[in-house]
Chain A
Amino acid sequence: MTATTWTVAVAVAIFAVGAIGVLTRRNPLIMFMAAEMMWNAAALAFVAFARQHHALSGQVMAFLIIATAAAEVGIGLALIVSVYHRRHRLNIDEISRLKG
């Protein structure tokens, strides 16, 4: 097994575990962290393929993923905090009815 295959396999495993976390946990903070892990897994796959194909564009994509994740964390944490201020419970089902 080459290093590329192993690294992409690690990325696949992290992505699947993150998907399990997003779909089965109820705490919005933990769901959000699992989603962050899925972003990271995609970036890792990009870097691995950039190394294999000797192309720098994969690393550029990984850099853009890091920047996008930073923006996403700002918005997502602001949403979680504002929902918590209204409902005072950390449960994702509270957000299923998005009304005041």
Chain B
Amino acid sequence: MWGVYLVGIIAVLAAVGVVAARQPVHSAISLILNILALALLYLMLSAEFLAAAQVIVYAGAIMVLFLFVVTLLTAGKEEQEAPEILSGQRWWAGGLSVAIGLVLVLILAQTPSSGLGPAGPVGTLNALGAALWGRGFPYLLAVAMMLLTAALGVLVLNRPERPSRSSEPGSER
């Protein structure tokens, strides 16, 4: 039980670090810490396969992609935030976000929660696969189509602007 408390506090602190960091690289590193803490929480909540998928997909693939883009776009630059166009937008936005959090906390306080009770179904690969290929099959199909569409979308977004220009990476500079 103390582990759940400790890992939760680490996750929230890392989340604050993501938002408060000045450099995007520091944000990315805090996000990796947040993701690893969440993977630990998944393990404690008997979601074994999800913990592994979180580490492999998020901390592995997605964060490597993030770090790659961050180093590509902000290498050797001092990042300063531009002056605001809308005055006071930050304060309004921060207040609204805190209000969202308060509403969620109110909902949480009214939700009845029994104890954990006996160990439920463990989210092993077998159990999750049976659920996905059984009742969750439409979701699986939808996600497959969505991933295909995303791959196509990335290709369309990064196609060369004019046919005369070569599409080799780095040739535009």
Q: Interface residues, chain A, CB within 8 Å of chain B? A: 2-10, 12-21, 23-27, 29-30, 33-34, 36-37, 40, 43-44, 47-48, 50-57, 59-60, 62-64, 66-75, 77-82, 84-85, 89-91, 93, 96
Cβ-defined contact, A90 with B74, below 8 A: yes
Docked CA distance A99–B147 (Å): 27
Q: How far is the CB of A51 from chain B (nearest CB, A)?
A: 4
Contact of B94 among A23, A30, A52, A69 (CB under 8 A): A23
Chain B 57-85 interface 0/1 with A at a Cβ cutoff of 8 Å (1 = within):
11001100110011011100001011001
With contacts A36-B31, A47-B47 taken as known, whether A56 is within 8 angstroms of B127 at the C-beta atoms is yes
Cβ-defined contact, A7 with B41, below 8 A: yes
Task: Determine if B163 is an interface residue (Cβ-Cβ < 8 Å).
Answer: no
Number of A-B contacts (CB under 8 A): 232
Q: Interface residues, chain B, CB within 8 Å of chain A? A: 1, 4-5, 8, 11-12, 15-16, 18-19, 21, 24, 27-28, 31, 34-35, 38, 41-42, 44-47, 49-50, 53-54, 57-58, 61-62, 65-66, 69-70, 72-74, 79, 81-82, 85, 90, 93-94, 96-98, 100-101, 104-105, 108, 111, 113-117, 120-121, 123, 127-128, 131-132, 135-136, 139, 143, 146-147, 149-151, 153-154, 157-158, 172
